[in-house]
Amino acid sequence: MANKSGSVKTGWKRVLSAIPLHVILILICVAWIIPSLGLLVSSFRPKSMIATNGWWEAFKTPFAFTLENYAYVLTRGNMGRSFLNSLLIAVPSTLMPIFIAACAAYAFAWMRFPLRKALYLLVIALIVVPLQMTMIPVLRLFNKIGLTGNFIGIWLAHTAYGLPFAIYLLRNFISQLPRSLIESAQIDGASHPTIFLKLVLPTSIPAISSLAIFQFMWVWNDLLIALIYLGGTPDVAPMTVTISGMVNSYGGGWEYLTAAAFISMVLPLVVFFALQKYFVKGVLAGSVKE
């Protein structure tokens, strides 16, 4: 009996001692969610209310929600066009580095050539180079050949900047493929392009998808490179540039800023919730990126 009551006591003790753990963890989580929640709620509130009382008052009746802020920033605030621009910048800037890096990774993993190791060490060294080191010379080059302020320039820049990490990640994966797989294809008379396109690329899909998500998010969320190489032309500005322009010009125009910020978050949030597993894998693998 004594034994039994003892175990009950420890059971109770366990529950009691676990309470602080839950309290701390839940408090941290709530603190982490509140900022985003405040933004989301505010973006649906009418202008007059955002400026006069806190967003939490929105949950008191009578409810007053509106889509006007979204309608405004999408039509007159340039956000519709900026959304398209972000997409047109991010998609090629994701596809190009992956393909070019995959070719190089295949050569680094499965071909023998002089300087192979030296070149690969260079790639690894370049992963952490601050992009600030490249901006003045590249901007001068772009000015000379007319690539400032258009998509081709920024595609090339993002592609080049994404390459070192992409080559590193893909080479790690591609070099782990079984030797017998590659060799038997070669014996069957398959050429290198065939092996690469039909065998290596399809089997590397797990690594490629993590990399794709990582690179896409990186480009989508980038402000600095777009600011420098696109030079603030509204015609080609992605959302990050447009929103930071709005912050400077509107200052406290919260009804537009909150809506604009949320529009820029929609796609990353969808990617995050739909592909969380791959995204986390990309971050895990990417722990050396820049």
Quote the CA–CA distance of 235 and 33 in Å, as a whole number: 34
Backbone Cα Rg of the chain: 25
Q: Which of 72, 100, 177, 209 contacts another protein by CB under 8 A?
A: 100
* Nearest-approach distance from CB 160 to another protein, in angstroms: 3
| Three-state secondary structure of the chain | CHHHHHHHHHHHHHHHHHHHHHHHHHHHHHHHHHHHHHHHHHHCCCHHHHHHCCHHHHHCCCCCCCCHHHHHHHHCCCHHHHHHHHHHHHHHHHHHHHHHHHHHHHHHHHCCCCCHHHHHHHHHHHCCCCCHHHHHHHHHHHHHHCCCCCHHHHHHHHHHHHHHHHHHHHHHHHCCCCHHHHHHHHHCCCCHHHHHHHHHHHHCHHHHHHHHHHHHHHHHCCCHHHHHHHCCCCCCCCHHHHHHHHHHHHCCCHHHHHHHHHHHHHHHHHHHHHCHHHHHHHHHHCCCCC
Nearest CB to another protein, comparing residues 1 and 15: 15
Q: Which of 62, 130, 189, 202 contacts another protein by CB under 8 A?
A: 130
* Nearest-approach distance from CB 44 to another protein, in angstroms: 14
Under the binding rule (CB under 8 A), the answer on residue 36 touching another protein is yes
Under the binding rule (CB under 8 A), the answer on residue 64 touching another protein is no
Nearest CB to another protein, comparing residues 36 and 184: 36
Under the binding rule (CB under 8 A), the answer on residue 66 touching another protein is no
Quote the CA–CA distance of 206 and 59 in Å, as a whole number: 43
Under the binding rule (CB under 8 A), the answer on residue 147 touching another protein is no
* Nearest-approach distance from CB 58 to another protein, in angstroms: 11
- Cα distances from 36 to residues 31, 63, 82, 200, 256, in angstroms, run 10, 20, 22, 41, 16
Nearest CB to another protein, comparing residues 39 and 199: 39
Q: Which of 131, 177, 185, 190 contacts another protein by CB under 8 A?
A: 131
Nearest CB to another protein, comparing residues 103 and 185: 103
Q: What is the DSSP letter of 288?
A: T
* Nearest-approach distance from CB 4 to another protein, in angstroms: 22
Q: Which of 64, 71, 205, 269 contacts another protein by CB under 8 A?
A: 269
Stretch touching another protein by CB under 8 A, among 58-66, 70-78, 178-186, 260-268 = 260-268
Q: Which of 2, 15, 16, 111 contacts another protein by CB under 8 A?
A: 111
Under the binding rule (CB under 8 A), the answer on residue 74 touching another protein is no
Under the binding rule (CB under 8 A), the answer on residue 177 touching another protein is no
Nearest CB to another protein, comparing residues 1 and 189: 189
Q: Which of 88, 177, 185, 199 contacts another protein by CB under 8 A?
A: 88
First-to-last alpha carbon distance for the chain, in angstroms, is 62
Q: Which of 72, 209, 272, 278 contacts another protein by CB under 8 A?
A: 272
Stretch touching another protein by CB under 8 A, among 1-9, 60-68, 200-208, 278-286 = 278-286
Q: Of 218-237, which residues contact another protein (CB under 8 A)?
A: 220-224, 227-228, 235-236
Nearest CB to another protein, comparing residues 1 and 251: 251
Do 256 and 250 meet the contact criterion of CB atoms below 8 Å apart?
A: yes
